[in-house]
């Protein structure tokens, strides 16, 4: 078990070290926060990487909201924010959530359709732009 822990620790260190110069690693890490990774196993393993190695994230909910800057796990602004959930539950309808993240020269923008019905939020899987 100790060897597995050290292997994970070394892997995370190498990943963080390559983040500054590898555009492939940058895009992989951007997809982590957009729920866009094609592999659930890889996405799960990336959860071991500390979130302080996050990127510039801007999230926008339309109609009815201006965009705002988010640091860690930006989609939580919709999924776990009680004020937003309450407002959406009271105002049934169709919304578009746009999440834009960047790190150095890598940028990822994803749009999600959000349907508010009878106090339930139905989130689609999103599409990269």
| Structural domain for 100, as ranges | 2-128
| Cα end-to-end span (Å), the chain | 42
What's the total number of domains in the chain? 1
Enter the pTM of the model.
0.77
Give tens-digit pLDDT for 2-40. Answer: 999 899 889 889 988 898 899 999 998 888 888 888 888
* Those residues with Cβ within 8 angstroms of residue 19's Cβ, 6 or more apart along the chain or in another chain: 25, 26, 29, 53, 103
């Amino acid at each position: 078990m100790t060897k597995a822990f050290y292997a994970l620790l070394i892997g995370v260190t190498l990943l963080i070290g390559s983040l500054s110069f590898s555009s492939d690693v940058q895009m992989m890490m951007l997809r982590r926060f957009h729920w866009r990774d094609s592999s659930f196993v890889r996405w799960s393993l990336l959860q071991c990487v500390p979130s302080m190695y996050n990127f510039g994230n801007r999230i926008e909910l339309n109609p009815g909201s201006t965009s705002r800057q988010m640091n860690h796990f930006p989609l939580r602004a919709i999924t776990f924010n009680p004020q937003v959930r309450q407002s959406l539950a009271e105002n049934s309808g169709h919304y578009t959530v746009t999440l834009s993240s960047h790190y150095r020269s890598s940028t990822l923008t994803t749009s999600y359709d959000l349907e508010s019905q009878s106090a339930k939020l139905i989130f689609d899987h999103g599409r990269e732009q």
